[in-house]
Structures are given as structure tokens and as C-alpha cells.
Amino acid sequence: YSTVYWLGKDTLRVSAALFAENRRRLCEGLRAKQGLQPKSLVLLQGGEQKQRYCTDTDVVFRQESFFHWTFGVTEADCYGAVDVDTCKAFLFIPKLPESYATWMGEIYPKEHFKEKYALEEVHYTCDVSWTDTKNATNFRGVNTDSGSVTREASFEGISRRLLKTDMELEVLRYTNRISSEAHKEVMKHVSAGQKEYEMESLFRHYCYSQGGMRHTSYTCICGSGHNSSVLHYGHAGAPNDKTIQDGDMCLFDMGGEYYCYSSDITCSFPANGKFTPDQKAIYEAVLKSSRAVLAAIKPGVKWSDMHRLADRVHLEELIKVGILRGNLDDMMKVHLGSVFMPHGLGHLLGIDVHDVGGYPEGTERIDEPGLKSLRMGRVVQERMVLTVEPGIYFINHLLDKALASEQQSGFINNEVLARFRGSGGVRIEDDIAVTADGVELLTCVPRTVEEIEAFMADRNPEKSFSPTVSSEKF
């Protein structure tokens, strides 16, 4: 394949072969299924160009994820089909009005898209009679929910998207490399007196200017001080608008997206570059659980067990800090870990930041505090890409609930806890690819207290940093 997606300079070249391989995997998977009629076609609807409410202002378009996975087409308002027997790919593009050429630029012929995406056939959507094809036996949608238009969770493509090919891993390594560098850029420049949104802006500028990443994978979370305990801070009601104070811990959860492939990285560090003893204790508790989980992950382990392992390490460490007292197993029985980590340990990552396929049909969520928030109920498999993101947070309403709980309050030393209230939280989030016998760490940022302090003490943008974590073996 000479056909590549490339934004020039040092951005990644992604071959159209990536999507041809995805289509091949899709067709093979479908052919292996019982009851599939011969001459079946998979029909997919791409994303639609949307306007801002009732205005004529376009929202920046981002392709629908299944459509992207299958075709790699960046344009809006397309359909696509794959012939399951032959793997032949059809793209259906809108026939654009003449005015498009005035406002939006050149109208390309069908041949242009055929070459641009290395697809077998390109047609105009208006030349296809959709009602006829829908009823024809040779144009049978495989979606069990919605007929011809496939967007639902039961689409066969989900199980294909669960495991990443070598070419997909290459893109995810790239999104992680650029996003790691962007986080380091933020750490180099953060200081008291700045707004949280300035850090968001810096991150996004780095990702776009250096990595060709127009989108981030999700809304940037730039919490400082008490805001770092708000799990999804940064939304319109709390838009990263606090002034960063000396003595604040920062929790910055941001990931850039390239050609629709995601990254999801969280760095926690003191705004002034120096941990207090209390900040260090909580940070190192989380780092310990993160590294324990990374060392334990391999094909065959249960993801829920990894979550429990993180909980266990947190509780152990919180006993050492003095916030908790008593028997560790008894604490586990009353789910004390979820008071400090109410979210799941991590999730699948790919074209979507919370990638599809976490709960295959027939898998139930575990109905326990913390574990019920897990976005994946599967056993870990080689070629999965996952986030590992343990955290310890001091969330007042959860702490108050625990103190009011007959089962839990006895474990908590309220006097010591009071010292930590309002300090926010710590999350350490890395992206990993599961290998045959362990993990490949995709994220590369300063992680130990010593690395962070050394990196932030020396905020000379000319000096590059090579963290020792990159060579860690798990």
C-alpha cells in the first residue's frame, strides 16, 4: 500500500493497509459465524456533519468510530459496505452541490476517494436505492438491532476492535508518545498563579502543533488543589478555571487523538515541583498500586482481580499513613477501597477512549462498590490496550458516608484523615498493550517522586528528559 494518511513533518504515516487488515479480520470473523447467509454485506453509516444547534456553523467533524475502524475515511456523510465473501470495500459519498465549491473548496470526483483510501469501489449515495438494497438478500445488514444501519453494541466489529493489530499498536504508540511529551511540556511550565486552563491550552497546542492532533480523546481534566478529587473535572460547569496555588497538587488527565486513535494519560504532581511529606505519602501509595498491577497483568488474569489488587495496596498504604487502622481483609470485606477509589482501575483504549467490548454478551457487572464502575469485565488477552489508572481521592461526601457507616467508620482515624481533606487526589494513569507474557508500557513520563522533582526543578525546555520508567520491566 502506497496510500498513507500523513500530516507532514514528523507526524505518523498510517498506511491504508491498516484498514484493509481490519476489514479482512471483520470478514473472517463473520464467515466463521454460523448462520451467515452467502453474499452478505456489512453496511455502515459514517458520521454526519452537524451544525451548532440551530445555526449554520459547522461543528469540527470527527469520524464515527466503527466507520473509521473499517475504512479510515475522514470525510463526513458517507456510507460504506464490505462484501463478506470477497472483502471488497465500497464507499458511498454524497454528491455535493455546486455551491460547495464556492464555500468549501474543490469537489473531487469518485476516483479521488478510491485512490485516497485504496478502496475497491466508490459510488454516490444518491445513485443507490437504499430501500431496494435493504430488502435484497444480497444486501443484508448484519446488525441484529437496527437493520441496515450499524451502530449498536452487538455489531460483530466490536469483538474485532477488542484486539489491536501491529499497525494499530503503532498508531497507539504514537498517540502516547506525543501525549507524554505534551504532559512533560505542561510540567515544565506549570507554576502558581497560572490558570488551570492555561495548562489545558499548552497541552493541546503541543499535541496539535507537534503531533497533528486536532482533537483530544476527551475533555481535558486539569484539576489543582481540591479540584483534583473531582473525577471528571473540566466540564462546562467547572471548566479548568481555578488559579493554581503554591502547595496545590495538580491532577492533569489529558490525551491527544491522531487519526481517531486515542490516548489517556494522567500525571499528578505538586504545582511547585516539590512534594510535601503528606503529598509524597499519598502519591507513593498510588504509584505502588500502579506498579503492582503493571507487574501482575498478563494474558489470563481477571481485570476485576487487578482492581482488587489496587484496592488492597491502597488500604495497606493508608494504614501506614495512619488514615486507616485495623485488619486489611476486614477492610476489603466492607469495600473500604472504594471510598478512596470510587472509579474502576482502567478500561480498554483504542479508537474510543473507553473502547468498545468491555462486557461481551452474557457478562454481568460485579455489583460491588468500585468494581461496578469497571468498564471491562473480561479476562485480559494479548493485544488488548488498556489504561491502568489507580487513584486515591479525598472526596468529602464519600468520606462522610464512610464515617456514618457502622461497617466502615471503625477503620478510619478521623484526626489523621482531617489533615488530608481538601487536598484533592492523586491518579496515575498509564496506557499499556498486553503482550504474550506481560505488558508494554506505552506512556513515558516522569513517575517516581524523585523523577518528578528532578524534572520540575530543572525547567529548562532545551533539556530533554529520559525517564527511567521507560526501561522498567514488567
**Which residues in this chain contact Mn ion in the complex, by CB under 5 A?**
264, 387
CB of 253 to Mn ion, least distance (A): 7
CB of 349 to Mn ion, least distance (A): 7
CB of 204 to Mn ion, least distance (A): 18
CB of 78 to Mn ion, least distance (A): 30
CB of 353 to Mn ion, least distance (A): 7
CB of 389 to Mn ion, least distance (A): 5
Closest CA to 376 of 358, 354, 351: 358
Closest CA to 66 of 125, 151, 159, 5: 151
CB of 442 to Mn ion, least distance (A): 13
Nearer to Mn ion, 45 or 217 (CB): 217
CB of 347 to Mn ion, least distance (A): 6
Contact 157, 69 (CB under 8 A): yes
Q: Which residues partner with 256 through β-bridges? A: 216
Nearer to Mn ion, 172 or 331 (CB): 172
Q: How many CB atoms neighbour CB 435 within 10 A?
A: 14
Nearer to Mn ion, 156 or 264 (CB): 264
CA distance 17 to 249: 44
HSE (side-chain half, CA atoms, 13 Å) at 138: 3
Nearer to Mn ion, 89 or 222 (CB): 222
Q: How many CB atoms neighbour CB 371 within 10 A?
A: 20
Using only the alpha carbons of the chain, give its radius of gyration: 24
CB of 172 to Mn ion, least distance (A): 14
53: left (phi over 0), alpha (psi -120 to 50) or beta: left
CA distance 50 to 196: 30
Our separate counts of H helices and E strands in the chain read 15, 16
Closest CA to 189 of 197, 204, 199: 199
Residue nearest to Mn ion (CB): 264
CB of 461 to Mn ion, least distance (A): 28
Q: Computed from CA positions of residues 236, 240, 241, 242, in that sequence, does the dihedral angle turn out positive or negative?
A: positive
Closest CA to 160 of 33, 302, 307, 260: 33
CB of 265 to Mn ion, least distance (A): 8
Nearer to Mn ion, 198 or 264 (CB): 264
Q: At 60, list the grid cell.
A: 469540527
Closest CA to 42 of 2, 62, 71, 75: 71
Nearer to Mn ion, 78 or 265 (CB): 265
CA distance 59 to 52: 6
Nearer to Mn ion, 140 or 427 (CB): 427
CA distance 387 to 255: 12
CA distance 409 to 412: 5
Nearer to Mn ion, 15 or 216 (CB): 216
Query: Which spans in 261-379 are helix H?
Result: 277-296, 303-321, 328-333, 337-340
Nearer to Mn ion, 119 or 388 (CB): 388
**C-alpha angle 246-250-253 in degrees, rounded to nearest 5:** 160
Q: How many CB atoms neighbour CB 156 within 10 A?
A: 18
Nearer to Mn ion, 70 or 443 (CB): 443
State whether residue 403 is helix, strand or coil: helix
Nearer to Mn ion, 229 or 387 (CB): 387
